[in-house]
């Protein structure tokens, strides 16, 4: 067990190093780069001189050769001058640190404990993801991500819990009553869930519960009687003002209260739950079918145990084993996932941050999110494998 853990952890580290390498190469090896537009603007007065561009490049740390840029991204820049002195390149490398770092005397000494105030970049290995270039110019990337994390975690955690609570019983029942009407409905529903573009489902939800509810589906009698049905907000985390006739208005929910937030979460949650419900209930069903065919289930039945006990205690427990590994994979999804949901519902979470950073060439944010999700995926795989072996003694560490 210990050997296995050590070997897997080493593998994990190697994979993460490869991943950082891949992330860096993808973003930086393509010709052009984030500044390529600056000296090509049509208006000559807006065009930046080469000198100005060189200054920007130095401030962003883009003036270094690629390998050195990779190393400073990973390990920080406070060591660059020391290394330059050792290999006798002090002069050539003089500009290879950011102005902020040079002004502070090219070292983080005296600011060791505080990430925010350390003038030199410390690198992702020391949890410093640098400073945002565009989305929140000048702000620490870790702060920006931290600010959005809460929204994403709230959304994804709700979805995960909700869809597990629904999907597992559904999967079990449809396996126990295989070929019943319920089973048929569940399988069809599962296929639809797998084939449905989630963002489209989101659009439809907004059309129905946001717009058509407000317009009473265009039915005059309904309009005269109610004005509008209590409609849902079409996006955001909380309302800036309560619209007349909206669901918050009808139930007297104050703007910005936690109920307001819950109401905003409803449609995104519905959309994502539908998507994961389909695959999880299918998975649980097939796993349960497999187990129900086993001899020990027949033994349990022939011992005269009640059907409920056989199914819940003997079959369902074992059928959960493969499902658990799939669920563990939800950990990284909580962080990076929901890109589509967050865009459809303009919900300010990590997913939308990522899209915005990509569109605005804000590479420190892009690289940070990619790096963190790579770590989470690797970690989730490890946890999944370990759980698998712990739960099922038949699987040996090897």
Partner 1 sequence: MSVAKINLDELNNEALLVEEHESMISIYWGRLKRHRLAFISLIVLALIILGVAIGPLIMGQMTYYNVQKDAYVNYARDTQDLQSKNVSPSSDHFLGTDELGRDVLFRLLIAGRLSLTISLSVVLIQVSIGIFLGAVSGFYGGWVDSLIQRIAEFFIILPALPLLLTLSSILRNVRIPGIPPEWSQSIFIIVILSFLGWPGSCRLSRGVVLSLRNQQFTEAAKALGMSDLGIITRHMIPNALPPIIVLATLGLGGVILTESALSFLGFGINPPVATWGNMLQNAQTDMLTAPWKALIPGFFILISVLAFNYLGDGLRDALDPRLKL
By CB under 8 A, is residue 243 in contact with partner 1? no
Q: Pick the piece of the chain touching partner 1 (CB under 8 A) from 55-63, 253-261, 306-314, 339-347.
A: 339-347
By CB under 8 A, is residue 146 in contact with partner 1? no
Size of the site for partner 1 (CB under 8 A): 44
Q: How far is the CB of 66 from partner 1 (least distance, A)?
A: 15
Q: Pick the piece of the chain touching partner 1 (CB under 8 A) from 63-71, 105-113, 143-151, 329-337.
A: 329-337
Tokens of residue 141, six digits: 């990337």
By CB under 8 A, is residue 340 in contact with partner 1? yes
Q: How far is the CB of 51 from partner 1 (least distance, A)?
A: 26
| Contact letters for partner 1, residues 184-223 (x by CB under 8 A) | -------xx-xxxxxxx--xx-xx---x------------
Using an 8 Å Cβ cutoff, are 239 and 313 in contact?
A: no
| Contact letters for partner 1, residues 10-39 (x by CB under 8 A) | -----x--xx--xx--xx--xxx-------
Q: How far is the CB of 267 from partner 1 (least distance, A)?
A: 13
Q: How far is the CB of 34 from partner 1 (least distance, A)?
A: 10
> Is the sign of the CA dihedral 222, 227, 230, 231 positive or negative?
positive
By CB under 8 A, is residue 383 in contact with partner 1? no
Restricted to residues 261-300, the positions that interact with partner 1 (CB under 8 A) are 286
Alpha helices in the chain (DSSP H): 2-28, 50-60, 66-75, 80-86, 99-103, 141-176, 181-195, 198-205, 213-214, 220-226, 247-250, 258-292, 295-302, 307-309, 317-328, 330-336, 339-344, 350-359, 363-391
Q: For residue 221, what are the contacts with CB-CB under 8 A and spacing of at least 6? A: none
Q: In the chain, what is the straight-line distance between the N-terminal and C-terminal CA atoms, in Å?
A: 9
Q: For residue 187, what are the contacts with CB-CB under 8 A and spacing of at least 6? A: 174, 282, 285
300 vs 333, which CB is nearer to partner 1? 333
Q: How far is the CB of 17 from partner 1 (least distance, A)?
A: 11
Tokens of residue 265, six digits: 């979460």
Q: How far is the CB of 6 from partner 1 (least distance, A)?
A: 18
> Cα–Cα distance between 163 and 355 in angstroms, integer?
26
DSSP codes joined into one string, 56-107: HHHHHT-SS-HHHHHHHHHH-STTHHHHHHHTT-TTTTTTSS-HHHHHTTS-
Among 343, 349, 353, 364, binds partner 1 (CB under 8 A): 343
Nearest to 47, CA basis, from 35, 34, 59, 57? 35
3-state secondary structure of 31: coil
By CB under 8 A, is residue 366 in contact with partner 1? yes
By CB under 8 A, is residue 369 in contact with partner 1? yes
Q: For residue 234, what are the contacts with CB-CB under 8 A and spacing of at least 6? A: 206, 210, 211, 267, 345
By CB under 8 A, is residue 386 in contact with partner 1? no
Q: For residue 288, what are the contacts with CB-CB under 8 A and spacing of at least 6? A: 171, 172, 175, 176, 315, 316, 319
Q: How far is the CB of 78 from partner 1 (least distance, A)?
A: 28
Q: For residue 80, what are the contacts with CB-CB under 8 A and spacing of at least 6? A: 68, 72, 93, 96, 97, 106
By CB under 8 A, is residue 373 in contact with partner 1? yes
Q: How far is the CB of 222 from partner 1 (least distance, A)?
A: 17
By CB under 8 A, is residue 339 in contact with partner 1? yes
Q: How far is the CB of 170 from partner 1 (least distance, A)?
A: 19
CA-based R_g, the chain, Å? 27
26 vs 92, which CB is nearer to partner 1? 26
By CB under 8 A, is residue 365 in contact with partner 1? no
151 vs 343, which CB is nearer to partner 1? 343
Q: For residue 316, what are the contacts with CB-CB under 8 A and spacing of at least 6? A: 172, 288, 291
Binding site for partner 1 (CB under 8 A): 15, 18-19, 22-23, 26-27, 30-32, 191-192, 194-200, 203-204, 206-207, 211, 286, 332, 336-337, 339-340, 343-344, 354-355, 358-359, 366, 369-370, 373-374, 377-378, 381
């Amino acid at each position: 067990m210990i050997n296995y853990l050590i070997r897997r952890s080493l593998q994990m580290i190697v994979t993460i190093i490869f991943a950082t390498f891949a992330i860096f190469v993808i973003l930086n090896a393509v010709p052009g780069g984030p500044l390529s537009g600056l000296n090509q603007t049509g208006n000559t007065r807006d065009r930046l001189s080469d000198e100005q561009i060189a200054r920007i490049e130095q401030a962003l740390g883009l003036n270094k050769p690629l390998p050195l840029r990779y190393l400073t991204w990973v390990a920080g820049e406070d060591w660059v001058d020391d290394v330059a002195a050792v290999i006798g390149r002090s002069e050539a490398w003089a500009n290879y640190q950011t102005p902020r770092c040079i002004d502070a005397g090219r070292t983080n000494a005296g600011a060791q404990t505080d990430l925010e105030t350390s003038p030199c970049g410390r690198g992702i290995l020391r949890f410093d993801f640098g400073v945002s270039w565009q989305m929140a110019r000048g702000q620490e990337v870790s702060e920006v991500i931290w600010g959005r994390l809460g929204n994403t975690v709230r959304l994804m955690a709700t979805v995960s819990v909700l869809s597990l609570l629904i999907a597992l019983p559904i999967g079990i029942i449809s396996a126990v009553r295989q070929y019943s009407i319920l089973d048929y409905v569940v399988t069809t529903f599962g296929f639809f869930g797998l084939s449905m573009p989630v963002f489209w489902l989101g659009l439809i939800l907004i059309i129905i519960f946001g717009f058509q509810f407000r317009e009473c589906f265009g039915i005059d009698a309904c309009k005269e009687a109610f004005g509008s049905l209590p409609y849902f907000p079409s996006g955001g985390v909380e309302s800036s003002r309560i619209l007349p006739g909206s669901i918050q208005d009808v139930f007297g929910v104050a703007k910005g209260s936690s109920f307001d937030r819950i109401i905003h979460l409803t449609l995104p949650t519905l959309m994502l739950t539908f998507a994961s419900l389909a695959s999880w209930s299918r998975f649980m069903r097939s796993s349960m079918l497999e187990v129900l065919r086993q001899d020990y289930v027949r033994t349990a039945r022939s011992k005269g145990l009640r059907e409920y006990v056989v199914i819940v205690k003997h079959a369902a427990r074992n059928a959960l084993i493969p499902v658990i590994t799939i669920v563990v994979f939800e950990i990284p999804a909580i962080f990076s996932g929901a890109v589509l949901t967050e865009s459809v519902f303009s919900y300010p979470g990590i997913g939308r941050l990522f899209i915005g950073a990509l569109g605005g060439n804000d590479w420190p944010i892009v690289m940070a999110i990619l790096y963190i999700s790579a770590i989470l995926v690797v970690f989730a795989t490890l946890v999944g494998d370990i759980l698998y072996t712990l739960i099922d003694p038949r699987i040996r560490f090897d």
